[in-house]
Amino acid sequence: MSRRTERLASLIRHELSMMILRDLSDPRLVGFPSITRVEVAEDLSVADVFVTAMGTPGQQNAVVHALRHSAGLMRTRLTKELTLRQVPLLKFHIDEKLKKELAVLELLEQVARENAELDRRRAEAAQNGRGPDNPPQPENTE
């Protein structure tokens, strides 16, 4: 992305966020929808807007459909707010990247918990005089 497209993406993200909070009153906009990122094409013709919303997958889809329904209105207002001759076509998507990032973070936390448990067991074994390579020996009863 060039500096120009990055700057435009940032401005679009900010303005759309404010429009969703102030201007849109669609009942399908539940679960506090938020715009996570905007990617603008190099020729400035299309802006992919990635959205997350709390709630079930059905509610998230309803939020995206509501935003797609009001895309024309938002594009018209963006033209006035950003003083651009032509605002990119807005395409709304559910942000799957964020879901993947959260899943990876959860896996990392799980690995950290498992490592902490292994470290605790090793420390207990060292205190009892048994190393990891020196397991307890069965007693000879002969």
Q: pLDDT tens across 78-136, in order? A: 988 888 888 899 999 988 887 788 888 899 999 999 999 999 999 888 888 765 555 55
pLDDT of residue 56: 82
| Pair (19, 43) in one structural domain | yes
Domain with 116, as residue range(s), is 96-128
pLDDT of residue 133: 56
- pTM tops 0.85, yes or no: no
Dihedrals phi, psi of 34, to nearest 5 degrees: -135, 145
| Pair (64, 104) in one structural domain | no
Question: Does residue 11 sit within a domain?
Answer: yes
- Give the C-alpha distances (Å, rounded to integers) separating 33 from 25, 41, 51, 96, 137: 12, 23, 7, 14, 61
pLDDT of residue 140: 64
| Pair (16, 81) in one structural domain | yes
Average pLDDT, the chain: 85
| Pair (88, 111) in one structural domain | no
Tokens of 117: 């448990």
53 close to 31: Cβ distance less than 8 angstroms: yes
